[in-house]
Amino acid sequence: MNKMYISENSKVVVQGITGTQGMFHTKLMVEYGTNIVAGVTPGKGGQEIYGIPVFNEMKEVRAETGADTSIIFVPARFTLAAAMESLNAGITMTVIITENVPVFDMIKLVERANEKGLHLIGPNCPGMLIPDKIKLGIMPDNMCHYGDVAIISKSGTLSYEITKAVGDENIGVSAYVGIGGDPVRGTPMQEAVAYYSDDSKTKTIVLIGEIGSDEEEKTAEYIKEHVSKPVIAYIAGKSAPEGKRMGHAGAIISGDFGTAQGKIEALRKAGALIADTPWDVPKMIKEVM
Amino acid sequence: MFNIPLVKNMLIMRGENVEEKVEGFSFPAIVKSQIAIGSRKKAGLIKIAQTKEEAISLCKEYFNRNIAGFQVEAILIEELVTIEHEYYCSIALDASGRQFYLIASKEGGIDIEEVAKTIPEAILKESFSFQEGLSEELAGKVARQLGFNGKQIDTASQIFRNLWDITFKLEAQLVEINPLVLTPSGIVAVDGKMILDDDAAFRQPIVQKLEQKKLTELEKLSKQAGFSFVELSGDIGILANGAGLTMALLDVLSELGLHPANFLDVGGGASKERVYKALELIFKLNPKAVLVNIFGGITRCDAVAQAIIEALNNFSDAPPMVIRLTGTKEKEGIALLKEAGIEAFQDVMEAVEKLDEVLSE
């Protein structure tokens, strides 16, 4: 079940490699040492970007290069199609960087991915980093070195902030996973926690959450039952005003779920240590080490 | 269009002749402001008019009011029905479960949130998958559990199924009828609400049409520019990137007794132009100082620096700015600012201390 697995041996294809963001971040990933074997942009096959061959479709890529991992930078309205192409070509791990993907597209995609055994991360996420080994995403690459703390986050920049603070204190990171903050996505927080709870290289888990949804509460239940490693959590949004979109259904489905206070309480009760500010995290890791 | 039985009604748009429109409608009737906020009845935005004259003066009052930055764009006048009982029903997305709920209650009406908190067992909740949709069996089961009988079961369950039809076709995250009313002549929907997906706007014309109406003026500007913005009551302008980091920053400031004037997440991969527009917008709030906190991932610090330099050149009366830049292209960004004589921090707490200093000057 180690589907979330990527390593320096992963063969990566960039979907949307000829776009501004795709091109810019391909360069940074290559510089980091990521093994990018191909790019895909329909209609642009035959070109080369930084010496990387560009193909028209994923099936070709798979046949020609044996790529097993993909990262998607295509515009939101084409994201479902791009991910389905990856899935049908036999890719086993896909990171979707694209933001503003319609919710119904994600519902369809995640169902299919689960059936076919494709592991999805995202959408609207920074991706995944195994420090000093592989960068599969858009996160800054000077944040930290390899070590034994797994960082799992719904938020992008906030997790950069925390990961950098951790790195600055010379604490190493076994994996950084930005799961994204969209309502429907490939990797629920609980699944990521479960993975790193079983991962032999990880000794401590840092969880970064924010207001909205009931994921942190669900994750807290999981932690209580199954996780023996120390978990340090930071939840953003304690001072946030009540959202305009909090309609009847939100209140009905979730009761008091969704507030920062509710999440903090649930996690604390499950045995997690709660950081008051993002910058308290490194100190707390040292205390449990 | 979606076959939900409604009471006799009439919609008056802003700018239409109210006197002409109400002519011929029978009173007493209910006058409802159409505005994208909840709890309208409690806010006095829904009232009963006994006569035509009362309705006209209510309409004028509503059209002239400004409610939390919103204008009433339309008013719905509805026939007064004899209420035998009020129910609640909705289809709602359970995002983390990737399924939908049919939610219903015998205790419908304006206190449904209170009911959900105090007597949760009064809320019926049945889940179903996106692929299978809401079946006749499940809809019928809920209709019976609500206490409907005979022909009412078919009517109610057809309404639930039509709600699913709306949810599916419009890519909604919530489609709600509250109250669903039992009258002597049958079941009718008296009020409703939907939450649609902004990200599906490119293929859902109704979303494009509604999108502009629910925003305040400044929020409209920010929406066009591509960042998310919420006006707050304090005096420190905030420009940051990432919803999580922006929220964390607001939390830290609040705990120090500093009061942000806004939440502004400039968004992933913000260009120089977008950052410039964000600054322009923040300056409109007349803050005492502005705190810029950028952690560049997909956003490039050099582009942010260029925007700041340009804004400071163009706005001679700009408030003092405290800048923190780190991440992608940070060296280039900080060098650009230095050349222009602007100090920038890499550590956020140092920036917050500086901000405190600037404010007390």
Interface of B with A in 160-179 (CB under 8 A): 171, 173-174, 176, 178
Same domain flag for A151 and A239: yes
CATH number of B216-360: 3.40.50.261
Question: Which residues constitute the domain of residue A117?
Answer: 12-121
- Report how far apart, in Å, the C-alpha atoms of B103 and of each of A254, A280, B56, B136, B338 are: 12, 42, 37, 15, 58
Contacts of B242 in chain A (CB under 8 A): 155-158
Nearest Cα of chain B lies from the Cα of A5 at a distance, in angstroms, of: 23
Proportion of chain A above pLDDT 90, given as a percent: 82
Answer yes or no: do A247 and B254 touch at CB < 8 A: no
- Looking at the predicted structure, is the pLDDT value of residue B146 above 90? yes
Q: Which percentage of chain A shows pLDDT scores above 70?
A: 93
Q: What is the pLDDT of residue A145?
A: 97
- For position A284, which CATH number holds? 3.40.50.261
In this prediction, residue B229 has a pLDDT band, given cuts at 50, 70 and 90, of: confident
Do the two domains B9-79 and B216-360 of this chain adopt the same fold? no
Any domain includes A133: no
Mean confidence (pLDDT) of chain B: 90
CB A115: neighbour CB atoms within 10 A? Answer: 9
pLDDT at residue A213 in the model: 81
Q: Closest chain B residue to A235 measured between Cα atoms? A: B248
Catalytic residue among B78, B86, B176, B330: B176
Choosing from A90, A121, A152, the residue where a domain stops is A121
A154 vs B contacts (CB less than 8 Å): 244
Burial class of B118 by CB neighbour count within 10 A (0 to 12, 13 to 18, 19+): exposed
Residue B223's pLDDT is what? 75
What is the CATH class of B85-209? alpha beta
Q: What is the pLDDT of residues A20-66, one digit of tens each?
A: 999 999 999 999 999 999 999 999 999 999 999 999 999 999 999 99
For residue A253, name the pLDDT band (cuts at 50, 70, 90).
Answer: very low
Q: A189 to chain B: nearest residue by CA? A: B96
Look-up of token digits 């602007």? B342
Whole-number Å distance between alpha carbons of A239 and B42 = 25
Q: Domain total for chain A?
A: 2
Which of A121, A156, A187 terminates a domain? The answer is A121
State whether A251 and B243 contact (CB < 8 Å): no
Dist CA A122 CA A128 (whole Å): 10
Q: Which residues of A touch B113 (CB under 8 A)?
A: 248, 251-252
pLDDT in tens, B237-287: 999 988 888 989 999 999 999 999 998 988 777 889 999 999 999 999 999
**pLDDT at residue A77 in the model:** 96
User: Are residues A80 and A177 both part of a single domain?
Assistant: no
Residue B344 vs residues A254, B347, B349: alpha-carbon distances, Å = 42, 9, 12
Are A115 and A169 contained in the same domain? no
Domain extents in chain B: 9-79, 85-209, 216-360
Place B63 in a pLDDT band, splitting at 50, 70 and 90.
Answer: very high
Q: What are phi and psi of A6, to 5 degrees?
A: -135, 155
Which residues, listed in sequence order, are joined to residue A177 by a DSSP beta bridge?
A128, A152
Residue A250 has pLDDT above 70, yes or no: no
Q: Sorting pLDDT into bands at 50, 70 and 90, what band is A169?
A: very high
Residues A201-211 have a mean pLDDT of 95
**Which residues contact residue A200 at a Cβ distance below 8 angstroms, ignoring those fewer than 6 apart?**
none
Residue A26 sits at the vertex; the CA angle it makes with A24 and A29, to the nearest 5 degrees, is 115
Half-sphere exposure of B1 (CA within 13 A, CB side): 3
Per CB-CB distance under 8 Å, the chain B contacts of A236 are: 244-245, 247-248, 251
Distance in Å, alpha carbon of A135 to nearest chain B alpha carbon: 13
A259 part of contact set with chain B, CB < 8 Å:
no
Contact call for residues B269 and B258 (beta carbons, < 8 A)? no
Residues in chain A closer than 8 A to B269 (CB atoms): 21
What's the pLDDT tens digit per position in B17-31?
999 999 989 999 999
| Span B180-193, average pLDDT | 92
Q: Which of A25, A119, A145, A248 is catalytic?
A: A248
Q: Rounded to a whole number, what is the distance in Å from the CA of A63 to chain B's nearest CA?
A: 31
Residue A54: give its domain's CATH number: 3.40.50.720
Assigned domain for A67 exists: yes
Most confident of the following: A29-43, B113-127, B196-210? A29-43
Distance to chain A for B113, nearest Cα, Å: 6
Cα A53 to Cα A51: distance, rounded to the nearest angstrom: 6
Residue A193 domain flag: yes
**Are the Cβ atoms of B247 and A210 closer than 8 angstroms?**
yes
ipTM of the complex model: 0.85
Mean pLDDT of chain A: 91
A251/B113 CB distance under 8 A: yes
| A252 to B123: CB separation less than 8 angstroms, yes or no | yes
**Per-residue confidence (pLDDT) for residue A3, from 0 to 100:** 63
Q: Write down which residue in A60, A87, A121 finishes a domain.
A: A121
Residue keyed to tokens 């500010």: A277
Q: Which residue of A has its CA nearest to B293?
A: A157
- Specify whether A148 is located in the same domain as A262: yes
Chain A CB contacts of B199 below 8 Å: 76, 100-103
CB A210 within 8 A of CB A165: no
Chain pair A-B, CB pairs under 8 angstroms: 176
Residues 84-123 of B with CB under 8 A from A: 88, 90, 92-96, 98, 101, 103, 112-113, 116-117, 120, 123
| Pair A46, A95 in one domain | yes
B16-45 residues touching A, CB cutoff 8 A:
36-38
Nearest to B134 by CA among B106, B110, B163: B163
A31 and A97 belong to one structural domain: yes
Q: Answer yes or no: is A227 within a domain.
A: yes
Over range A190-215, report the average pLDDT. Answer: 93
A108 touches chain B (CB under 8 A): yes
Cβ A34 vs Cβ A134: under 8 Å: yes
Whether the per-residue pLDDT at B181 is higher than 50: the answer is yes
pLDDT higher than 80, residue B214: no
d(CA A237, CA A229): 26
Q: Is some CB atom of chain B closer than 8 A to the CB atom of A191?
A: no
- Report how far residue A195's alpha carbon sits from residue A233's, in angstroms, rounded to the nearest whole number: 17
A121, A177 contact by CB (below 8 A) = yes
CA distance to partner chain B, nearest, from residue A57 (Å): 25
Band of residue A2 on the pLDDT scale cut at 50, 70, 90: very low
Clarify whether residues A266 and A151 are in a common domain: yes
- Determine which one of B88, B101, B276, B330 is catalytic: B88
Q: Which of A155, A219, A253 to mutate to test the interface with B (most CBs of B within 10 A)?
A: A253
Residue tagged 């240590």 (tokens): A273
pLDDT surpasses 60 at A252: no
Residues A74, A152: one domain?
no
The answer to whether B88 is a known catalytic residue is yes
> A223 and A256 share a domain?
yes
Chain A residue numbers touching B253 (CB-CB < 8 A): 239
- CA A91 to chain B, closest CA, distance in angstroms equals 23
Residue A179 lies in a domain: yes
User: Could you tell me which CATH class the domain B9-79 is placed in?
Assistant: alpha beta
CB within 8 Å: B244 and A255? no
